[in-house]
């Protein structure tokens, strides 16, 4: 009998270890190699290294705009690194917004390994770099998150002051997303990385813009509807068409017009 109990404990432990590895591999897809720099797209930039509260060194790029005091603090998605978001940086630079993008721990040249708590600490460090080192007033900072980055931006927006929050292709929570992806397997029961944006978004008072595609094949549109419904005014919802990774690029001119108009109305 004792042997059966011990065997059961070992099997359960192995299963939980496997689920933890599977969860991390499903959420985070970091790439270390920086393939491109902003200079390749004609953008001047500062290559920045800054420290988190738990002592890790993160890497980011600050791309200044001329005669513009509004800074977009950009939180990228769960794959690649900052070198794969240069086209986004260029779109904002062309609209005369300064742009600060950084890699979470474990991505690109940033130290450490990614986790939910880690990305939250990374976001605070990036924000504090802008406020304390760059001397950017909080009301001039726009928190912009894409996909997983939207969850990171929403968490940060629930803790700090900023001019506005923009959530692109964000999900309500990892638990809800797991229920959508694995409809017939209750993997959501084993989720440890919650990213529960739905719980936090209602506490945010700054202006909020939610951007999402009705055709998003990874994060269903209903997640944007859930976040928008839970959010307090002032809030706006912009609906696109296209896939999770290409909708913004397909509609980039319309998106940037919407974003520029939103910020013009809500930021002095």
Query: Which pair of structure tokens corresponds to residue 253?
Result: 């001119």
pLDDT of residue 193: 77
Expressed in angstroms, the distance from the first to the final Cα of the chain is: 72
For the chain (268 residues), the mean pLDDT of every run of 10, in chain order, is 55 46 67 94 96 98 88 96 96 95 98 96 98 96 98 98 98 87 59 88 98 95 98 97 90 94 91
Nearest Cα to Cα of residue 205 among 142, 134, 157: 157
- Expressed as residue numbers, the domain containing 170 is 2-266
Please give the tally of structural domains in the chain. Answer: 1
pLDDT of residue 178: 78
CATH number of the domain where residue 112 is located: 3.40.50.1820
pLDDT of residue 213: 96
Query: Which pair of structure tokens corresponds to residue 79?
Result: 């794959």
pLDDT of residue 14: 42
- Contact between residue 90 and residue 120 where contact means Cβ atoms under 8 Å apart: no
Strand 57-63 and strand 98-102: pairing?
Answer: antiparallel
Q: How long a stretch of residues is the chain?
A: 268
pLDDT of residue 236: 98
Give the single-character DSSP code of 132.
I
- DSSP calls for 180-197: HHSTTS-GGGG------H
pLDDT of residue 152: 98
d(CA 113, CA 32): 11
Determine the distance from the C-alpha atom of residue 137 to the mean position of all C-alpha atoms in its chain, rounded to a whole number.
21
Q: Is the pTM of this model over 0.75?
A: yes
């Amino acid at each position: 009998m004792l042997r059966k109990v011990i065997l059961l404990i070992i099997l359960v432990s192995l299963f939980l270890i496997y689920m933890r590895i599977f969860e991390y591999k499903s959420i985070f897809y970091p790439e270390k190699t920086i393939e491109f720099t902003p200079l390749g797209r004609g953008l001047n930039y500062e290559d920045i290294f800054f420290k988190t509260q738990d002592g890790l060194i993160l890497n980011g790029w600050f791309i200044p705009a001329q005669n513009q005091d509004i800074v977009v603090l950009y939180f990228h998605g769960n794959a690649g690194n900052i070198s794969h978001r240069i086209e986004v940086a260029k779109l904002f630079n062309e609209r005369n917004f300064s742009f600060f993008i950084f890699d979470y721990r474990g991505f690109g040249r940033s130290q450490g390994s990614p986790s939910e708590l880690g990305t939250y600490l990374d976001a605070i460090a990036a924000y504090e770099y802008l406020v304390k080192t760059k001397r950017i007033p909080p009301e001039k900072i726009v928190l912009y998150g894409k996909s997983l980055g939207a969850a990171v931006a929403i968490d940060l927006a629930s803790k700090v002051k900023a001019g506005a929050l923009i959530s692109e292709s964000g999900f309500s929570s990892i638990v809800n997303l797991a229920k959508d992806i694995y409809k017939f397997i209750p993997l959501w029961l084993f989720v440890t990385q919650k990213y529960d944006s739905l719980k936090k978004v209602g506490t945010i008072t700054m202006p909020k813009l939610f951007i999402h595609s009705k055709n998003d094949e990874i994060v269903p549109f209903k997640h944007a509807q859930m976040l928008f419904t839970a959010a307090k005014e002032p809030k706006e919802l912009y609906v696109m068409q296209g896939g999770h990774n290409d909708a913004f690029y397909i509609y980039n001119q319309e998106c940037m017009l919407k974003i520029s108009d939103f910020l013009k109305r809500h930021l002095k």
